[in-house]
Each structure stands twice: as structure tokens, then as C-alpha cells.
Structure 1
Amino acid sequence: MEALAAYADTNETVLSGALLLALPVAVLGGLVSFFSPCVLPLVPGYLSYVTGVGGADLGAARRGRMLAGSGLFVLGFSVVFVSAGALFGGVGDVFQEQREVLTRILGALTIVLGLAFMGVLRRVGQREFRFHHRPAVGLAGAPMLGLVFGIGWTPCIGPTLTAVNALAFNESTAGRGAVMGLAYCLGLGLPFIAAALAFRRALGAFGWVKQRYALVMRTGGVMLVATGLLLVTGAWDRIVYEMTYWTSTFEVAV
């Protein structure tokens, strides 16, 4: 670990390697959150609310309106999650000396929440906190509803978000932490937009996923546990070091 720290002081690409490794995990975490039982069943309701179109008419609504409503909704919760990523990244920079210990603590928490996600620990991470404030219906209220979703649904999607924020903390800069939050929002937000643009087809896909919720939850839980183990054991930093060494020796032929 001392060698890794020394290398990081002289070559900032160590963090770039970490970011390159962490981004796919963050995107996958967003996808798992979207297909979780506390988000997927509510998608039609959210789309109806942010577009001002009745549920029965969503399939026939204009694509421009559906795109605008879903995009503004995603923008709203992205503000929350990107800010959270920047905060964790900034904290990681402040507590650089204790980063290794804190990273392992966050990794252990990720493992616990991953087990809860799989249903092994049923009393952990099962609560939801929702704001009862209801923003205006339609495009004008879409960003605010996104903000409410981002804040109020955090305990529900907490397991995957915790893993992403743990990796953001490991980045040790607010900027890279924000990029981690953005990657999570892409995984969570793009399916919302895709569902808005192809609502009728999306309903069929949603039905297929609903029949396999157990598989989705177990797969997501395994991903979280694996990420937590990498953080706890220090294997994450070792993989990043190897990636950085490999990329530093790569030269582009001109």
C-alpha cells in the first residue's frame, strides 16, 4: 500500500485507472437500482406524472413530450446523486491519511447491504423514506419530482448507491466522485428515458423482469458483495495499480 501511495503522488493516472475500473460498476449499479422492486413498478406512474399524460395514453403520447419529461426527471435526481458523489470524493481527499481504513469500512457496509439486497439479511436496507410533497404535474414539475425521488428514495436504492459512493470516496477528488455519481445516474436514468420513448415495448420488458425479480436481486447482491470484498481486502487498489502500470507502458503507434 505504501508503494501504491508513493506511485500516486508521482503519477496521477493511478486515480484515472481507478476511475476507469469503477465507472462500469457505477453504471451497473444504476441499472440494478432501476430494475429493483421499489423502482420498476413505479415507472409508469412517474412517466405519467412528469409528462402530464394519463397512464392509458402514455403509449400514444408525442415522443418529444415523453423525452422532455423523462429527461427533466432524470436531470432532477442526477443533481442529487452527482452532488453526493462529489461530496464523497471530496471527503476522501480530506481524509487521505485515513482513506484506507475508511474505504474498508465502506466496503464492509457494502457487503452487508449486498447480502440484504439478496434477501439474506431481510431487516437491513428494507425501509423507504418518502417525501409527501407532490410537485406540479407535467413538464414544469418534472425536475422537482426528480429531486424528490433522489432524496426520498435513497434508503430504497441505498445498497447500490452505497457501493458507488464508496468507490467515489476511493477516488479522493470531488471531480472524480461527481463523475462516479454521473455514471450511476446514466445506469438509472437511461432506462427511464428508453421506457418513455418506447413505452408499450418497455411494458413487455418490465413484465419479463418482474417474473425474475429474485434473479435480479441476487445478481445485484453478488455484485455488491464482490465490490465490498475488493474494497475490504485492498484488492481494488492492487487491481488499479496493475491497470495503471499496464496503461503507462502502452504507446500509441503514429
Structure 2
Amino acid sequence: MNDIGLFFALSAGVLSFFSPCVFPLLPAYITHLTGGKIEDAKLHVDRTKLYMRSIGFIFGFSAIFIALGASASFIGSWLMNYRIALMQVAGVLIVIFGLQMAGLLKLKFLMKEKKFQSVHESKNIAGSVLLGMAFASGWSPCVGLALSSILLLASSSETLMEGIFLLSAYSLGMAVPFFIISILISQSLKTMRKINKYLSKLAFINGMVMILLGFLVLTGQMQKISAWLSFYSLFSL
């Protein structure tokens, strides 16, 4: 297992959650999930319902992300004879995605947005799972670029399980802050306002992380660093 790849996938998940495309919509998602309402700068929701439906939502988007990771790895293993070329193409694309996320590149076709519009309120945990799956399927530009970068990394991985682990790490990176911030903003929306000030900086950091990842994949350094870490951990036991 490529520990460096898992680190990048986890980081990409965290930074994707705090992207300008996702984070500001969190109160809307929570009210939709729970049937709560916003009054006096506070999100009024049933706590038990919030916990259960947040878990359902997380399960839904994680299932889609992991399935995409498995598919990307399967395609990558099928093209194993062209793995070096695949890694180079993936590296170049990840760098381009990183430049776009950092705001250093503005390609219009990468800024197109697909949004899921749901008419019905989520009535139970099954509805929350479906909403999470719809969220994962309706990529926004911010999440789409980071997610696509991790999928490209998964496509260049050696095994199917490695791709699944990569997208599991990405999902975990989104899930943990989603659950924590959901609880915090149910107490006060001031948390949202404070974090909103730093979203553009976080988007830039996300871009820089992806650019670094792209260069590591492009130059083949990812495998070298991972091998060195494995060697070091073996002899440090």
C-alpha cells in the first residue's frame, strides 16, 4: 500500500470538504437531511436525527466514491502494459487540475458544474443515503477536480484494493469534518462565518497539494518515496 498516496487522498478529501463549492452549502444540506430550520443565527435540528442522517449521507457518498475508485483501478490494471505512460498522463492532468484549483489556471470547461436538485425532503436514513449518493454523483468543479486527481492516482495503482483504499481515504477525509462541523453549526452558525473567511486560501492549498501530487506521479517519485518509507518502517520496528 502506498502510504504517500493515502496521505494525499485523505488531504484531498479534507480540503474538498472545505472548498467554496461545498462548505457554504452545508447548512442547506443539513436542513434538507433533517427537516431543521435556521433561526437567530442557529441551526435548529433534532440531534439524534442529525447524527443518524449524517451517517447515512456519509455512507452514500462514500459508496459512490469507493465504487469509482474500484472502477478506476480495474481499468488501470487492464492497461498495466501501458502503466508508465498512464502514470505520466495522470501526472500531467493532476498538475493541470491543481493549477485550476489554485486559481493559477482558468479553463472554462473545467469550471462547468453539475448540481443535484432534490425536490423531496429526506424522510429517513435511507433517503439520506440516496442524497449522499446523489451528492457524490453530481460533481461540482471543486470536488470534481480533487476527486478526479485521486481517481487518476487510483487508475495508476497496481491493485484493485489499492484504488479502493485510496478512495476510502478520500471519503474519510470528507466524512470526518462533515460530521464534526455539522454538530458545531447546530450550536451556532458563527463557526461557518469564521471558516468562510479562509475558503479561498484553503482552495489554493488544495491546488498546491494536487500540483505536488501530480509532479510525484509524473516523475515516478511517488513509488520511490513509498518504497523508502516501507524500508524505514521495516527496520524501525
Q: Could you say whether these structures have the same fold, taking a TM-score greater than 0.5 normalized by the shorter chain as the test?
A: yes
Aligned residues: 234
Is 1:97 the equivalent of 2:81? Answer: yes
Alignment of 1:189-208 (within 5 A): 189-200=175-186, 203-208=189-194
Alignment of 1:1-254 (within 5 A): 16=1, 18=2, 20-56=3-39, 59-124=43-108, 125-139=110-124, 140-153=126-139, 155-200=141-186, 203-250=189-236, 252=237
Consecutive unaligned residues of structure 2, counting only runs of 5 or more, are none
| d(CA) in 1 for partners of 2:181, 2:127 | 19
Amino acid at match of 1:219: I
Amino acid at match of 2:174: L
Residue 92 of structure 1, CA deviation:
2.0
My pick for the range that moved more, 232-241 or 135-144, is 135-144
What are the Cα deviations for residues 67-87 of structure 1, in whole angstroms up to 9, with x where unaligned? 111111111111110101111
Residue 135 of structure 1, CA deviation:
4.8
Q: CA RMSD in A?
A: 2.0
Structure 1 pair 36–45 and aligned structure 2 pair: CA distance change class (3 A):
same
Contact 2:184-2:191 at 8 Å conserved across structures: no
Structure possessing the higher radius of gyration over alpha carbons: 1
Q: Percent identity?
A: 28
Higher relative contact order (CA 8 A, sep 6+): 2
Residue 109 of structure 1, CA deviation:
0.5
| d(CA) in 2 for partners of 1:60, 1:174 | 43
Contact 1:168-1:176 at 8 Å conserved across structures: yes
TM-score, scaled relative to structure 2: 0.90
Consecutive unaligned residues of structure 1, counting only runs of 5 or more, are 1-15
